[in-house]
Amino acid sequence: MERLLELEHVDGGYQRTRPVLHDISFNVNRHEIVGLIGLNGAGKSTTIKHILGLMEPHRGTIKVDGQTIAGSPDAYRRQLAYIPETPLLYEELTLWEHLEVTAMAYSISEEDFQNRAEELLKEFRMTKMKNWFPDHFSKGMRQKVMIMSAFLLEPKLYIADEPFVGLDPVGIKSFLERMQEMRDQGCGILMSTHILSTAEKYCDRFVFLDQGRVLMQGTLLELQEQAGMPGADLDDIYVAVTEEDTHE
Amino acid sequence: MNNVMTLWQSRKQEYWSTAVKYLRLIGNSGFLFAIYILFLFGSYYYGRFLEWLPENFPAVLFFTLVFAWIAARGRVRTFVKQADLVFLLPMEERMKPYFRSSIRYSWLMETGWITLLFLVLAPLYSDRIGQAAGPLLLVLLFLSLLKGWNLAASFEEQRIGDETTFRMHKWLRFFVNAGILFLLFSGLLPAAAISAFGAAIIYYLYFRKIKGTLQWQRLIEIENNTVRMFYRIANNFTDVPHLKESIRERRWLSFIYRFVSYSRRNVYKYLFARAFLRSGDYFGVYMRLTFLGVIFILAVDLSWGRWLMGALFSYMTVLQMETLRYHFHTSQMPELYPLPDKTEEKGLIYWLKILGILQVAIFTFAAGNVLDSITVLAASAAVYVYVIYYRIPKRNSAG
């Protein structure tokens, strides 16, 4: 299997003296959706910031498609699209302009941009709002803008931080279906979430984070085995292993 | 009750401690110096302006309208915040002393502003209507009392839920003010005093009887509008976090966007164009400073004064336009873009050049004769060249 994202023994955090992440190692391969699972404050968003290159690991390496960010920042960044937890929009740009400027930044050809953008707008039912400003958008619409901007790039690797928050059911469905489609085409997807029932249904593998450490990782079957809970669902396993952890 | 007053005190202090911080920043920049120079020129030309002003200038009407507007606008500073909708709503009954302090405080502040404005207009006042209308101090006292009445009335008035009725009250109050002030400035002080007394009675008979709960959303809006101007000015010198600017599309200017072609190198040109034209006050500041620059260049008839004005206004303009650079620093997304080095700086410089060339051309044209045109051109252009080719690249390599 081809590795798209590799984290090896990563320690990280805002201050060297007080690391938040401890020895994090996991991979995301092609044709795979990996769920990054953890409670609030488990270190999911910090892990993602390190992957994006917004924070630097104190120790260990992070590679996207075999490259580190220090080696070639442009090539590294171009491989991945990010869907943030809170939508980060430019208040002075219309929806269409958001898509356009993103496509420009990632060197998508103008023709590809037009075709993909129109299609995405239709799929996420936002064609009518094409020339609206974010001021008039609900939380869910804002999230859709971020999702569309990410899909527009057709990168190898998607990093999604709690992508469902605020989305309506149709939006969630479109998002997940497209994610699966991308996976089947050979993309890798890392999705952080604490909505475990959805994660269980759509993710191929899981990484459990707790207090900045990887608690467990593997497919659902592997996790059931490791926890000694055959047939249990993701919720139960997660609660059981984190409880165990706090008792220690 | 004690609680409520502690809250009031702490809110007031909180505001003033941030305000002082911003005021210090403004004071430390070159801005005050520029104002000072304008003041010197201004006071010289003020006298000449009064001489030039035709005899039949409707001074009474002018004073009436200006001060009626100043008096009628509501502006009770309540220091309320968005979150108060949740946390203070249940306390509304007990908030009376809080709001009484608000009105008293606003009255004091507004009296200060009225005094300032009146002093600025004082030469015009004594020149044209002073003799008829009476001594300055008495008129000031009258204006202050009238403002107090307006603040008290406007606070009761905001309880009216219906937007149209509310707006009608505001307009009616404006006309009442205008009527009273017209009497005052026409030299009919006793008549003005009697009608003001009548207004006071209306307050007790009508405004105090307005029923309804406080319109918190509206109070918050009034509060925000009142401080927005200050924050907006401060925002030109530093980043003001609680300033949420509304976006204006300005569709008639959208042809400008076509100058930026679809290309990776142009991402920041694309972003800055939209920030400049739609958000914050960049566009407004640019237009105002260019306009004022033209007025000053036209008004000053000394050659050295002209190029000094040209350089001064260009400098003030470019100082403000430069802040565009930080406009997108609050967003995380541009950091992730796979862009070549210096795309941001190049994008900024591209627009500064265009804005500079446009402004310098206008100033040069305003200077009129050939010799002054050349010096104005040289002075203004020098300012832009300094900022674009020296200051911005240097700052970038430092940071």
| pLDDT tier, A15 (very low <50, low <70, confident <90, very high otherwise) | confident
Is residue B242 in some structural domain? no
Rounded to the nearest angstrom, the minimum Cα separation between B395 and chain A is 22
Rounded mean pLDDT, B226-238: 75
**Dmax over Cα atoms in chain B, in whole Å?**
74
| pLDDT tier, A68 (very low <50, low <70, confident <90, very high otherwise) | very high
pLDDT at B111 over 90: yes
Is residue A178 in some structural domain? yes
Specify whether the CB–CB gap between A33 and A204 falls below 8 A: yes
| pLDDT tier, A90 (very low <50, low <70, confident <90, very high otherwise) | very high
Interface test with A, best of B245, B250, B261, B336 (most A CBs within 10 A): B336
Q: Which of A196-200, B30-34, B197-201 has the lowest mean pLDDT?
A: B30-34
> 3-class secondary structure for B120-142?
HHHHHHHHHCHHHHCCHHHHHHH
Dihedrals phi, psi of B150, to nearest 5 degrees: -60, -40
For the stretch A138-194, pLDDT in tens is: 989 999 999 999 999 999 999 999 898 888 888 899 999 999 999 999 999 999 988
- Say what percent of chain A tops pLDDT 90: 69
Same domain, B323 and B204: no
Considering only the beta carbons, identify the residue of A52, A101, A133 that sits closest to B270. A101
**How far, in whole angstroms, is CA B15 from its chain's centroid?**
18
Rounded to the nearest angstrom, the minimum Cα separation between A92 and chain B is 6
Residue B64 lies in domain = 2-231
Rounded to the nearest angstrom, the minimum Cα separation between B335 and chain A is 8
Contacts of A90 in chain B (CB under 8 A): 271, 274, 328, 331, 333
Q: Which of A25-34, B54-63, B172-181 has the lowest mean pLDDT?
A: B54-63
pLDDT at A208 over 80: yes
User: What local confidence, expressed as pLDDT, does residue A246 receive?
Assistant: 58
User: What local confidence, expressed as pLDDT, does residue A97 receive?
Assistant: 96
Strand spans (E) along B28-122: none
| pLDDT tier, B211 (very low <50, low <70, confident <90, very high otherwise) | confident
User: What local confidence, expressed as pLDDT, does residue B205 receive?
Assistant: 86
User: What local confidence, expressed as pLDDT, does residue B243 receive?
Assistant: 64
Contacts of B275 in chain A (CB under 8 A): 92
From the list A116, A119, A170, A161, the residue with the least C-alpha distance to A141 is: A170
Task: Write the DSSP string, A156-187.
Answer: SEEEEESTTTT--HHHHHHHHHHHHHHHHTT-
| pLDDT tier, A247 (very low <50, low <70, confident <90, very high otherwise) | low
Query: How many CA within 13 A on the CB side of residue A247?
Result: 6
From the list B185, B225, B199, B154, the residue with the least C-alpha distance to B67 is: B185
User: What local confidence, expressed as pLDDT, does residue A37 receive?
Assistant: 93
Contacts of B266 in chain A (CB under 8 A): 104
Same domain, B193 and B95: yes
Provide the 10 A C-beta neighbour count for residue A196.
19
Higher pLDDT pick, A20 / B31: A20
Is A111 at the interface with chain B, CB within 8 A? no
User: What local confidence, expressed as pLDDT, does residue B51 receive?
Assistant: 83
B336 and A133 in contact by Cβ < 8 A? Answer: no
Interface test with B, best of A78, A90, A161 (most B CBs within 10 A): A90
Domain stops at, among B231, B261, B282:
B231
User: What local confidence, expressed as pLDDT, does residue B239 receive?
Assistant: 66
| pLDDT tier, B399 (very low <50, low <70, confident <90, very high otherwise) | very low
Same domain, B186 and B61: yes
For the stretch B253-289, pLDDT in tens is: 999 999 999 999 999 999 999 999 998 678 988 998 8
* CA separation for the pair A229, A244 (Å, rounded): 13
Rounded mean pLDDT, B361-366: 93
Is residue A145 in some structural domain? no
From the list B66, B191, B199, the residue with the least C-alpha distance to B132 is: B191
Rounded to the nearest angstrom, the minimum Cα separation between A121 and chain B is 20
Same domain, B218 and B319: no
Q: Which of A36-45, A102-111, B222-231 has the lowest mean pLDDT?
A: B222-231
User: What local confidence, expressed as pLDDT, does residue A161 receive?
Assistant: 92
Q: Which residues have a Cβ under 8 Å from the Cβ of B98 and sit 6 or more positions away?
A: B4, B5, B7, B8, B78
What CA–CA distances, in Å, run from A77 to A59, A71, A107?
20, 11, 12
Handedness of CA A93, A94, A98, A101 (dihedral sign): negative
Same domain, B146 and B25: yes
Residue A199 lies in domain = 3-86+157-247
Considering only the beta carbons, identify the residue of A77, A91, A104 that sits closest to B247. A91
User: What local confidence, expressed as pLDDT, does residue B214 receive?
Assistant: 84
**How far, in whole angstroms, is CA A66 from its chain's centroid?**
19
The mean pLDDT of chain B is 87
Is residue A173 in some structural domain? yes
- Beta strand pairing status for A21-29 and A80-83? unpaired
Is residue B12 in some structural domain? yes
Amino acid at A97: E
Q: 């969630």: which residue's tokens?
A: A172
Same domain, B213 and B258: no
* CA separation for the pair B297, B376 (Å, rounded): 9
Contacts of B340 in chain A (CB under 8 A): 74
Specify whether the CB–CB gap between B173 and B150 falls below 8 A: yes
Higher pLDDT pick, B50 / A216: A216
Same domain, B206 and B310: no
Is residue A114 in some structural domain? no
pLDDT at A95 over 60: yes
Q: Which of A27-31, A171-175, B38-42, B95-99 has the lowest mean pLDDT?
A: B38-42
* CA separation for the pair A163, A30 (Å, rounded): 20
Same domain, B118 and B88: yes
Query: For chain A, what is the domain count?
Result: 1
pLDDT at B244 over 70: no
Is residue A31 in some structural domain? yes
pLDDT at B123 over 70: yes
Angle between helix A95-105 and A139-153 (nearest 10): 30
Query: For chain B, what is the domain count?
Result: 2
